[in-house]
Structure 1
Amino acid sequence: MSGMREHGSASASERIDPTVWKVAAVVSIGSFMSQMDSTLVNVSLSTIGHTLDTSIATAQWIVSGYLLAMALMLPLNGWLVDRIGAKRLYLFCFSTFTIASMLCGAAQTIGELIGARIFQGLVAGVLVPMAQMMIGRVAGRNLERVMGFTALPILLGPILGPVLAGLVLAHASWPWLFFINVPVGAVGIAMAVLLLPRDAPASQKRPFDFTGFALISPGLVALVYGLQNTSRAAALAWLLAGVVFLAGFVLYALRKGNAVLIDVRMFATRTFSVAALAQFSANGIMYGRQLAVPLFLIAGCGLSAAHAGGLLAATGIGMMCSFPPIGWLTERLGCRALAAGGALLAFLSTLVFLWMSIASFSAGWAAVSLFLAGVGQGTISVPSISAAYSSIAKERLAVANTALNIAQRVGGPFATTLLSMAIALTQHGASDVQPSRFLPMFVLLAGLHLLCFTATMFLPVRVRRV
């Protein structure tokens, strides 16, 4: 009898509270909407530029303006959550993001569209990090299980985005790329009103740190802009300005302590700093692979865009296979073993492309490699996020989440900049299809994978969470 009672008690403790699933459902809508929106715009730039009679260089600001505005507002997320409350802030940002989508669709000129996208990016800078943080606040010991399932809509956005963009542009004009956000936004707002728990009153409201904001936000914008525009003469000046501003923020934050916008002393906690490095490098290898592999397949191996796209889908399938069981795997293998194993698997898959760049291309090996890269990639982030959250007091979660998201956002441009420089050096003046020219690029990508693997090896074996 006592054994049966103990088993029933254990089962009850493993059961996830319905409130957690309600929060997860709401934030999944927001994550799906933002991911799909980015993909729709990225694959439709040439069409939009042609319709609005502007160059691709100008149309590119539809994407660049959004990303820079997002970087500007990202440091404010933690302070705004503490000041306003998670539910109220989420409702405001999600509603405003939907309105911004309507403004994008209503734009008549390229200037109006870029302006609307900058407005949308300002809102997204606060909205995007909230999904991770809101789940972290309510999931408790079930964080890995819940995040594993809520990651699926984030993956579906980039997969469905190109298909949906093709359908929209085949049957309607480009503004409908933005107008389709409106019904999704309406559903998300209604779900947030009904399902999100009420905000608890804040124990203390921090005053706004104007000096910190004036240092970290321009620093992030300058750094991201410099990384994304390394081919331009002024890129080095932007990078240096970004480094100077961010260094100034770190020195200032060390003096101010808790009163600063982001308390950098969190990085003195080994688990948190290692998890942040894992997030930085994991995001870097993901963006780096998205740049390197299509270029290699199309420009290096002579594949058609359709053939290359079919092979690249294997990465998304691999990630979708790894996310649902990630909670179960974390419970049995532990945080370090799962994340490091995934990083090692992703590294080994990159060696296949190293081999193909000096030997011969194989579609079969490429598909298997990309699938395994997706499986490995999918097991890195959730354990490292879980480890970071376990090392920080719950009341500091919003600020910690902001710091993690900054590390993630910088990792992508950093990796693509390194790989772009390798491409520029090896492809200069080349016109023929020659896979060996892509060898340095994959060597760098393999190095980024090793950095990620090294970081995950310093994660805790297991995390303790109440």
Structure 2
Amino acid sequence: MTQTRSATAVSPSDSIPPHVWRIAGVVVFGALMSMLDTSLVNIGLPTIGADLHASLATVQWVASGYLLALAVSLPLCGRLARRFGPARVWVAAVAAFTIASCLCALAPGIGWLIFLRVLQGLAAGVVVPAGQTILGQAAGPRYLGRVMAVVGIAVVSAPAFGPTVGGLMLDHLSWPWLFLINLPFGVVACVLGLRVLPRQPGTRGGAVDLVGLVLAGGGASAVVYGLGELGVRDANSVLSVWLPIVLGALGLAGFVFRSLRRSEPLLDVRMFRDPVFAAANSASFFAGAAMFGLMVLLPLYFQILHHESLIRSGLLLLVYGGGGIIALPLGGRLTDRAGGGIIAVCGTVVVAATVAPLAFLPVDANPVLVQVLLFVCGVGTALSTMPLVSTAYAAVRHDQMPDAAAFVNILQRIGGATGVALIAVILSRMAESGRPALSGYHLAFAGICVLSLVAALASGVLLRVRRS
């Protein structure tokens, strides 16, 4: 796995072949569709509940079931990509996601909608890692930074534009259109995927390790579920919070132990023996926790603390997404030139430096100042996430890319759930204590700042490992 250490020796003037850009465009198109769907549907939950006569606790499973299913399918993605080829898996997953979207729009009741959202989540869990596998294999270590920066457009723009798009749709259309909007995009993505993506032959392998799949998929989903419940229930709740987290952690530990003893594991955990791959994923875990936590906190900051409407809150968040989109190409080029470690250190420090003032500003703070901070924070977020992903992929062989993509996305998903849970716990506990709402948001922003600093330290470890 040492052939990828030469990323710093690549000339930044090397132009990326046109076919790689075409592949990147198709992959980003599919990723943007699946990620935008999450923010659109979450906005429509109150409307869906009212129309289908479901309680808030029940309708929340439309979102929770999707996220849990997504965590279940991630461990299987590597196996499917190796067996059938990542391009075939990507097209099949996009097609399944599109069909499930259509069925969700036609759901006659809340029970059917939850069930169909689970199927949609199973497909969505495969789209992003399969696409990253295709891109990683097509680009190779030489162009990974710049190409993976394109994938970051979906990660940054979907949460930024989703609230605005969803609010406008609900103002003029019924909630099924939140799902029907996926149909034309899904059809176009499948056609482009069949025409553009390289169809590499799969490799014959043994039977799927069903026990490993249960341990990995069930463990990851249990941890994500427990962390999600931590933010909405009593932290001392054993059955709802700590039992799923403990059982999930034991399941993941059992999966690691089982994989080390098998000649053909579901996912090759031995890749973590590579110090660069291990360090990049560790840093990505904390950077993902800060990013996803911030993406949950910022809409609440405008809607609840500043009493902004859903659409106006979305408009105020556009500057955050815009900063990320502008910085992504630069971050990719710098990653190819200097390596992801130093770029991630700078990015995470920028996030911490721009979030820290929000932990002290009053409610009536200058709105221009807040927008400037959010723009720079978006720049830092772009520089703190995708360079770590690029570095992790550059540390593995071509044939290991499917497993690497699965691991990167699993750790980011659990890291994101950790960051969201931290924000939810802080806000709910501060509200229960009777403290002013502003105090809760100040503490929440401080929590994001701490996560970013931990990510900076982990990125520093990555920098030292690569240099050694």
Higher relative contact order (CA 8 A, sep 6+): 2
Q: 2:419 maps to which residue? A: 415
Which piece of structure 1 moves more, 247-256 or 138-147?
A: 247-256
Q: What's the counterpart of residue 458 of structure 1?
A: 461
Q: Using the TM superposition, give the Cα deviation of residue 305 of structure 1 relative to its aligned residue in structure 2, in angstroms.
A: 5.5
Q: Partners in 1 of 2:174 and 2:445 — Cα distance?
A: 39
Query: 2:277: which partner in 1?
Result: 272
Q: Take 1:446 and 1:372, find their aligned partners in 2: how far apart are those partners?
A: 14
**Larger deviation, residues 380-389 vs 396-405:** 380-389
Q: Which deviates more from structure 2 when the two are superposed, residues 296-305 or residues 379-388? A: 296-305
How many angstroms does 1:279 deviate by? 1.5
- The answer on whether the counterparts of 2:87 and 2:200 sit within 8 Å (CA) in structure 1 is yes
| 1:335, distance to aligned residue in structure 2 (A) | 2.4
Q: Could you tell me whether the CA contact under 8 Å between 2:49 and 2:59 is conserved in 1?
A: yes
Residue number in structure 2 paired with 1:6: none
Q: TM-score, normalised by structure 1?
A: 0.90
Cα pair distance change 1:148/1:396, threshold 3 Å: same
2:3 aligned partner:
none
Matches within 5 A, 1:253-292: 253-256=259-262, 258-292=263-297
The aligned amino acid for 1:190 is: V
- Judged with a 3 Å threshold, the aligned counterparts in structure 2 of structure 1 residues 386 and 217 are, in CA distance, closer, same or farther, namely same
Cα pair 2:220 2:252 within 8 Å, conserved: yes
Q: What is the RMSD of the two structures over their aligned residues, measured on CA atoms? A: 2.5
Secondary structure at 2:361's aligned position in 1?
helix
1:224–1:410 CA contact under 8 A, matched in 2:
yes
Establish whether residue 389 from structure 1 lines up as the match of residue 390 from structure 2.
no
Q: Deviations over 1:99-139 (max 9, x none)?
A: 11111011111111111111111111222212222111101
Task: Find the counterpart in structure 2 of residue 62 from structure 1.
Answer: 62
Tell me which residue corresponds to 2:90: 90
Matching residue of 1:247: 253
SS at match of 1:229: helix
One-letter amino acid of the counterpart of residue 454, structure 1: L
SS at match of 2:292: helix
Q: Which has the larger radius of gyration?
A: 1
2:360 to 355, 364, 389: 355
Give structure 1 stretches of 5+ with no counterpart.
1-9
Letter in 2 for 1:48: I
Q: Distance in 1 between matches of 2:100 and 2:173?
A: 20
Q: Is the 8 A contact 1:73 1:125 kept in 2?
A: yes
Give the partner amino acid of 1:314: V
Count of matched residue pairs? 451
CA distance in structure 2 between the partners assigned to 1:12 and 1:334 by the alignment: 11
- Structure 1 residue 360: deviation in Å? 6.8
Cα distance in 2, alignment partners of residues 438 and 13 from structure 1: 44
- Partner of 1:7 in structure 2? none
Asked whether the equivalents of residues 129 and 402 of structure 2 are also in contact (C-alpha less than 8 Å), the reply is no
TM-score of the two chains, using structure 2 as the length reference: 0.90
Q: Is the 8 A contact 1:336 1:383 kept in 2?
A: yes
User: Identity of aligned pairs, percent?
Assistant: 36
The answer (yes or no) to whether the contact 1:384–1:459 under 8 Å persists in 2 is no
SS at match of 2:207: coil
Alignment of 1:188-207 (within 5 A): 188-202=189-203, 205-207=205-207
> How far 1:363 moved relative to its partner?
2.1
Q: 8 Å contact 1:336–1:462 — kept in the other structure?
A: no
Report Cα offsets for 1:78-98 as digits up to 9, x if no partner.
Answer: 011001111211121111111
* 2-structure distance, mates of 1:249, 1:459: 25
